[in-house]
């Protein structure tokens, strides 16, 4: 397992190119199962989860090719013949997002057998709402031997009301509904940019979807979908992570190929604590790719933060915000409303000198506290990002273990950071 050795105390200065959104690319890859035509996806990030999803598609008998482009990577997928309906435990256990093949397989084949995703460090993360929705569309769903077995002659459109807002639940059912007979209405649907990006791809494939960006999505089923070309939106969480990196090191970064409209809550909160953020001309290509200039000078003001579904402050930025809040003057009360156990990074930040008290869904961060380099352990993707950010600001050397977590969602993050002044080395532990 690799680890990062980080020499803290270097302010970051320069330009960073933000990659495509992992959480938009994953459902887009699953959508290719809905048709036998060619799907061409641009601005694909080369992160571990994408490679895992490619392996899963390969296991389903679907070939894909990934080639490097000037900006990002191009992934071509074509499920020429009906895919194999079984997504086995070995791959699903590596990545919960594998559950996104369930809806498309069921819609295309009338049958799917997908391993139940296990638990996860940040919470139980059940998929009951995915399954309840598929049953509402007429599927018979059984769970046995750790697998979900779903069957249906043809899905029939119906009204689906989500008890809680679920991103991949909305995506799974939206994909399934595109080939159902009749109209499906999803109520209390997720409105994250990644959900909207998937809908844009499905519409390009010939799906009939209304209500994009609203909690009520209407899908009129069609008999078949065509091929399409689509460019994945920028990764708003990678952008937010680098914004905190600029701030916490007292640095100055310009982030190219971002979409500021997807970051309004993050920009507002960072500005509230005293980070200077401006939209500037990007070096990237056309519309949807702008640049953000970010400067920070610790200490910052303290500010409370509550994670919420989009357009609120994203839960995937909570750990990164907590690292910055350790440099805020006063108490910042953080409330995590989405997942029940997403404070594992707090204990590791405390080992670096942070003053954090966790009580259920609330964490109180008192600052500013000087951070000192330490050996710390990553537990999940965004927690590991938080530890890297703290290591950049800490006095002395930090060693972050289990960086395979961070590789799941960030493309060679240490190379991007070193290019703008960080001192990080990746050490393979065999
Ligand atoms: C997506 O996960 C993202 N992953 C997560 O990003 C993100 O944190 C999360 O949405 C929230 O924004 C991908 O898009 C691949 P949910 P997802 O279903 O869809 C409960 C990262 O760091 N729930 O919106 O799995 C669930 O337990 C990852 O990139 C049910 O109870 O999240 C949670 O408390 C981490 N039953 C809440 O809803 C269900 O059937 C929101 O979960 C489904 C969800």
CB of residue 244 inside a 6 A radius of ligand 1: no
Q: Which of 69, 64, 73 is nearest to 31 (CA)?
A: 64
Residue 120's DSSP bridge partners are 123
Tokens of 157: 């459109």
pLDDT at residue number 425: 98
pLDDT at residue number 284: 60
Residues of the chain with CATH 3.65.10.10: 2-19+234-428, 22-231
State pLDDT tens for residues 219-268: 999 999 999 999 999 999 999 999 999 999 999 999 999 999 999 999 99
What DSSP string runs through 319-347? HHHHHHHTTEEEEEEEE--S-TT--HHHH
pLDDT, averaged across the chain:
95
Say if residue 308's pLDDT is above 60.
yes
- The confidence band for 119, taking pLDDT boundaries of 50, 70 and 90, is low
CB of residue 191 inside a 6 A radius of ligand 1: no
* CA nearest ligand 1 atom 21, residue: 316
Q: H/E element holding 17?
A: strand 13-17
CB of residue 382 inside a 6 A radius of ligand 1: yes
CA distance 366 to 349: 12
Could you tell me what percent of the chain has a pLDDT over 90?
Answer: 90
CA distance 19 to 3: 22
Residue 329: count other Cβ atoms within 10 Å of its Cβ: 15
For residue 128, give the ligand 1 atom closest to its CA. Answer: 40
Our mutation pick for probing the ligand 1 site, out of 49, 114, 166, 385, counting the most ligand atoms within 8 A of Cβ, is: 166
Residue 144's DSSP bridge partners are 147
State pLDDT tens for residues 8-18: 999 999 999 99
Match domain 22-231 to its CATH number in 3.50.50.60, 3.40.50.10540, 3.30.1330.10, 3.65.10.10.
Answer: 3.65.10.10
CB of residue 336 inside a 6 A radius of ligand 1: no
pLDDT at residue number 91: 86
State pLDDT tens for residues 357-379: 999 999 999 999 999 999 999 88
CB of residue 357 inside a 6 A radius of ligand 1: no
pLDDT at residue number 263: 98
State pLDDT tens for residues 386-404: 999 999 999 999 999 999 9
Give the distance (Å) from ligand 1 centre to CA of residue 309: 10
Domain 2-19+234-428 class, CATH top level: alpha beta
- The confidence band for 285, taking pLDDT boundaries of 50, 70 and 90, is low
């Amino acid at each position: 397992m690799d680890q990062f050795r980080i020499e803290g105390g270097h302010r970051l200065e320069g330009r960073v190119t933000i990659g495509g959104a992992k959480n938009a690319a994953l459902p887009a890859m699953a959508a290719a199962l809905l048709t036998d035509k060619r799907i061409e996806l641009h601005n694909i990030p080369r992160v571990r989860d994408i490679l895992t999803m490619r392996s899963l598609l390969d296991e389903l008998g679907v070939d894909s090719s990934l080639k490097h482009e000037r900006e990002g990577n191009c992934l071509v997928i074509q499920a020429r013949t009906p895919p194999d309906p079984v997504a086995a435990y070995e791959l699903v256990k590596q990545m919960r997002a594998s559950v996104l093949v369930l809806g498309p397989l069921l819609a295309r084949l009338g049958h799917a057998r997908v391993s139940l995703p296990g638990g996860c460090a940040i919470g139980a993360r059940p998929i009951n709402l995915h399954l309840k929705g598929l049953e509402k569309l007429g599927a018979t769903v059984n769970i046995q031997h750790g697998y979900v077995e779903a069957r249906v002659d043809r899905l029939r459109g119906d009204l689906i009301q989500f008890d809680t807002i679920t991103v991949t639940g909305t995506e799974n059912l939206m994909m399934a509904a595109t080939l159902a007979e009749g109209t499906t209405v999803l109520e209390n649907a997720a409105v994250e940019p990644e959900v909207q990006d998937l809908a844009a791809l499905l519409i390009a494939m010939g799906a009939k979807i209304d209500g994009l960006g609203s909690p009520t999505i209407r899908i009129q089923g069609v008999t078949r979908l065509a091929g399409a070309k689509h460019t994945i939106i920028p990764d708003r969480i990678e952008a937010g992570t680098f914004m905190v990196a600029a701030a916490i090191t007292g640095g100055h970064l310009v982030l190219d190929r971002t979409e500021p409209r997807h970051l309004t809550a993050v920009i507002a909160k960072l500005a509230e604590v005293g980070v200077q953020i401006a939209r500037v001309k990007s070096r990237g290509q056309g519309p949807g790719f702008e640049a953000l200039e970010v400067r920070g000078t610790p200490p910052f003001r303290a500010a409370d933060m509550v994670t919420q579904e989009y357009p609120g402050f994203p839960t995937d930025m909570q750990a990164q915000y907590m690292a910055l809040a350790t440099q805020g003057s006063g108490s910042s009360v953080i409330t995590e409303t989405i997942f029940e156990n997403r404070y594992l990074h707090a204990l590791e930040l405390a080992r670096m000198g942070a003053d954090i008290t966790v009580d259920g869904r609330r964490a109180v961060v008192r600052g500013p506290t000087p951070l000192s380099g330490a050996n710390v352990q990553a537990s999940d993707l965004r927690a590991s990002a938080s530890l890297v950010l703290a290591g950049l600001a800490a006095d002395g050397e930090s060693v972050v273990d289990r960086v395979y977590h961070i590789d799941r969602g960030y493309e060679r993050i240490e190379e991007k950071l070193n290019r703008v002044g960080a001192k990080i080395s990746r050490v393979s532990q065999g």
